[in-house]
Structure 1
Amino acid sequence: MKEKMMDTIIELFGKKGFQATSIQDIVEANGVTKGTFYYYFKNKEDVLVHIHQSFIDHLLDGQEKIMTNEDLSNSKKLYQIVELLISNIRTNGHSALVFFQEMRHLSEEKTAIILPKRQQFQENIQKVLGEGMEAGEFKKDLRADMLSYAVLGMANWSYFWYEPDGEVDEKSLTDLYMRLIFKGIEEDTHDD
């Protein structure tokens, strides 16, 4: 019952926003009583924390599997992390929108729980980039910290516009992004 309620709540928060969604909206959409809601959650913020934790924990688990795979080069690790983010749109798109748009509604205490996990995901990308630079896979004159934010910005913005069932599949979008990241967007115009 809790998971069914969460699916409905995520959809409501995604469409109406956290503040505009009342507990009454939640119980009506789920066909339950307020008592049922309070059996599973303390309040709306408790639900929002659950959405944030589930979303980032899922991504961190996937990222950890990629990063600990010793058979992968840093280039392949970076590719798979971006692919993880893009493929996540199909399965967790509504959660992502809530994750990106509604964090401002968490108390400082709750933000202090979620923010380090978000930072860990970014720092892991930075680590892959830094190790790739040291290994000679990537240009050494780049800043891994800034580049990690660029990679995240590109991939995360996709949650707002990308349609997984549209004409471009997840792999094609990942390939496009990675071509931009690995090769850059400028043509080499050196005359020999």
Structure 2
Amino acid sequence: MKNDIKQTSILLFEKKGFSDTSIQDIVETVGVTKGTFYYYFISKEQLLMDIHMGYIDDLLERQGRIRQNQLSNRQKVEELVALLITDIADYGPNGKVFFREMRHLREDHVIQVKQKREKFRKNLEDIISKGIAQQEFRKELQPEIIAFAILGVTNWSYQWFNPSGEISADQLAHVYCDLIFNGIV
């Protein structure tokens, strides 16, 4: 039931926004009472925090598996780009809520989410640094800036990418990797 409430809320938050979705909207859509909601969540904000933590923890876990693979650093970057883009196809509403609705979290919750987001970025930065050290990437690159750039390109895709549109998630990931590794010249 907790997962049903969470998944329904994600869809409602994506459609109506966090502020315009009431607990009543959630329980009516799920078909439960407010008591059931409050059994699992103490507030709508705590539900939003649960959504955020679940999302970033899942990304960190999957990123960790990529980092542990015996792949080149370039392949790891390619896998991470693919992870972030295919995630839109698999969990698009969740990602939209994650990026758009964080402003509704309490400050202490924002800090917790930002720490995990920073960990994800630092892990990517570490892969880039290792790639430079192992001469897979140009030595003059600035790993922090490159990590921000990769995350900026991939994360912004939540705003416009339609996985059932003309280009697939795999194709978009390939386009992004080509841009990252080869530029436009």
TM over 0.5: same fold?
Answer: yes
Amino acid at match of 1:104: R
CA distance in 1, matches of 2:175, 2:9: 33
Determine the C-alpha separation between the residues in 2 that align with 1:90 and 1:178: 18
2:20 maps to: 20
Report the counterpart of residue 152 of structure 1 in structure 2.
151
Equivalent in the alignment of 2:8: 8
User: Larger radius of gyration, structure 1 or 2?
Assistant: 1
Residue equivalent to 1:179: 178
Shift of 1:20: 1.0
**Whole-angstrom CA distance in 1 between matches of 2:170 and 2:44:** 36
Gaps of 5+ in 2: none
What do residues 143-177 of structure 1 show as CA deviations (whole Å, max 9, x unaligned)? Answer: 11011000001011111111112221121111100
Equivalent residue, structure 2, for 1:190: none
* 2:81 counterpart of 1:82: yes
Q: State the 4+ residue runs in structure 1 displaced beyond 3 angstroms.
A: none
**Corresponding residue of 2:99:** 100
* 2: CA distance, partners of 1:137 / 1:171: 23
How many residues align? The count is: 185
Which AA in structure 2 matches 1:15? K
1:42 is the counterpart of 2:42: yes
- Partners of 1:170 and 1:96 lie apart in 2 by 14
Name the residue aligned to 1:135.
134
1:121 and 2:120 matched: yes
Q: Distance in 2 between matches of 1:108 and 1:55?
A: 18
Q: CA RMSD in A?
A: 0.9
